Structure 1
Amino acid sequence: MVDQPRFLAAVPALPVSDERRAVAFLTDALGMQELRHEGRGIGFLHRDQVQLQLWVPDGSAPGAERYLAGTASCRLEVTGIDELYRHCLALGVVHPNAPLRDQPWGMREFAILDPDHNLITLYQRPTPS
Structure 2
Amino acid sequence: MATISQLRPKFSIPQLDATNIATAQLFRDRWHNRVTALGNCIDHLVNDHGMPEHAAESAALQAYAEIESVNQKARIDVDATTSHLVVLRSGDGRSTAFTVSDLLRLLDRARQEGGAAVIEHSSRQPVVLEH
Q: Report the TM-score, using the length of structure 2 for normalisation.
A: 0.23
More strand by percentage: 1
**Of the two structures, which has the highest relative contact order with CA contacts closer than 8 Å and spacing of 6 or more?**
1
Q: Report the TM-score, using the length of structure 1 for normalisation.
A: 0.23
In our comparison, the structure showing a higher alpha carbon Rg is 2
More helix by percentage: 2
